[in-house]
Amino acid sequence: MLIAGGIGITPIRAMAHALRARGTRFALHYAARSARETAWAGEIARELGPRLSTYFAETGPRLDVEAVLRAAPADAVVYVCGPSRLIDAVHAAAARHGAAARVRCERFVPGRRDTDAPIAVELTRSSRRVDVRPDQTILEAVEEIGVTVPASCRNGTCGTCATKVLAGTPEHRDRALTAAERDRAGLMCICVSRAATPELALDL
């Protein structure tokens, strides 16, 4: 079961192509604000035919996530990509229908905001200090001065760049860490998260 919202169709379309090539049964549910804002509308309709269902907020009907999950086969794996509101709705519906473990998602999470202020970060193991500009992430600033940090997704969904905070208060923006990892382990994902204090000290 493939579910896409807005620009989230980009990776979902590639998955549909792969599933079709393998002969795997699937259905794609694609929601957008309007038909004119639907990426590759004609191409996807020709490629997928009856396997595609589209939903437009302006003209209706809207995507009913609950109904889609209720109708899905009992062993269906659900792939969803799009706005956080859509992904959260899919996770919630899947949990109600016993399918929570079969949901796979990709989120587009902004690492920077217009209101971000510069912050200073002390890298204790490297004995370095770096100033993070409003237009860059902590990870980008650290890499800019030559300090290597394991990183993969760079959008706060994988947790690869999770780093221990030694001082200061992080502002968590990731979707990867649990509350225990944030609070008790003191970790933050430096690819998207910033600081609620002017300075941070990290175990880097």
Check whether residue 90 and residue 12 sit in a common domain: yes
Check whether residue 85 and residue 146 sit in a common domain: no
Check whether residue 8 and residue 100 sit in a common domain: yes
Per-residue pLDDT tens digits for 1-38: 999 988 788 889 999 999 999 999 999 999 987 777 67
What is the predicted pLDDT for the residue at 110?
52
CATH number at residue 173: 3.10.20.30
**Position 93: which residue type?**
A
Note down the domain range covering 61: 2-107
How much is the average pLDDT of 57-71? 90
Q: Check if the beta carbon of residue 82 is closer than 8 Å to that of residue 4.
A: yes
What is the predicted pLDDT for the residue at 163?
97
Backbone angles phi, psi at 54, to 5 degrees: -115, 150
What is the predicted pLDDT for the residue at 105?
86
User: Whole-angstrom Cα distance, residue 69 to residue 4?
Assistant: 14
Check whether residue 92 and residue 140 sit in a common domain: no
Place of tokens 């290597």: 148
User: Whole-angstrom Cα distance, residue 8 to residue 195?
Assistant: 28
What is the predicted pLDDT for the residue at 9?
87
Check whether residue 132 and residue 87 sit in a common domain: no
CATH number at residue 81: 3.40.50.80
Check whether residue 124 and residue 81 sit in a common domain: no
Q: Check if the beta carbon of residue 167 is closer than 8 Å to that of residue 201.
A: yes
Backbone angles phi, psi at 129, to 5 degrees: -135, 135
* Structural domain includes residue 129: yes
Model confidence at 60, in pLDDT bands (50, 70, 90)? confident
How much is the average pLDDT of 141-145? 94
How much is the average pLDDT of 62-73? 94
User: Whole-angstrom Cα distance, residue 197 to residue 173?
Assistant: 15
SS3 state at 129? strand
* Structural domain includes residue 23: yes
CB half-sphere exposure, 184, CA atoms < 13 A: 4
* Structural domain includes residue 113: no
Check whether residue 28 and residue 101 sit in a common domain: yes
Place of tokens 């989230």: 8
Sign of CA dihedral 116, 119, 123, 128: positive
What is the predicted pLDDT for the residue at 25?
95
- Return the higher-pLDDT residue of 149 and 85: 149
Predicted confidence (pLDDT) at residue 121 exceeds the cutoff of 60: yes
Boundary of a domain, candidates 107, 131, 149: 107
Predicted confidence (pLDDT) at residue 111 exceeds the cutoff of 70: no
How much is the average pLDDT of 60-89? 90
User: Whole-angstrom Cα distance, residue 111 to residue 172?
Assistant: 10
What is the predicted pLDDT for the residue at 20?
94
Predicted confidence (pLDDT) at residue 39 exceeds the cutoff of 80: no
Check whether residue 52 and residue 85 sit in a common domain: yes
User: Whole-angstrom Cα distance, residue 176 to residue 41?
Assistant: 32
* Structural domain includes residue 153: yes
> For the whole model, what pTM was predicted?
0.56
Check whether residue 59 and residue 127 sit in a common domain: no
The secondary structure element, H or E, covering residue 131 is: strand 128-132
Per-residue pLDDT tens digits for 176-192: 888 899 999 999 999 99
